[in-house]
Amino acid sequence: MYYLKSEHSFDAAHFLKDYCGKCHNLHGHRWRVIVELKGEKLSEEKQTRGMMIDFSDLKDAIRGLCDHLDHCLIYEKGSLKEKTVDALQDEDFRLVEVPFRPTAENFSRYFYEELAARKLPVHRVEVYETPNNCAAYEGR
């Protein structure tokens, strides 16, 4: 079995609605995303012979997802009042609404599913919210 790993990071703010603690408040992280692919076979095509996939293709896919979330406020749909969203947009802040609570656990699944939808053989995704706190999601 072959495994490949690649990582990228992004800086973004979030908050956890209905959380009783510090994370209820708007705060930011340097989110670190580590993606692991798994495969039994290597390519026999000329350009990628001896590779599971080209690392640059993997890096581009991860970077694209991270760049979409970089330097913005990520918030769960329905967690902000409409007038708050309007005011932030009026200030020209970049907002990214997601359909899940923006936790490291949910981000690990989000990245996994997005990369799997691109036909990458994703095995595991780890998302570090801080240097010491990580959540992971693995396919079945």
- Which residues are part of the catalytic machinery? 23, 71, 129
The CB-side HSE value for 103 (13 A sphere, CA atoms) comes to 13
Q: At what angle do helices 55-69 and 104-117 cross, to 10 degrees?
A: 130
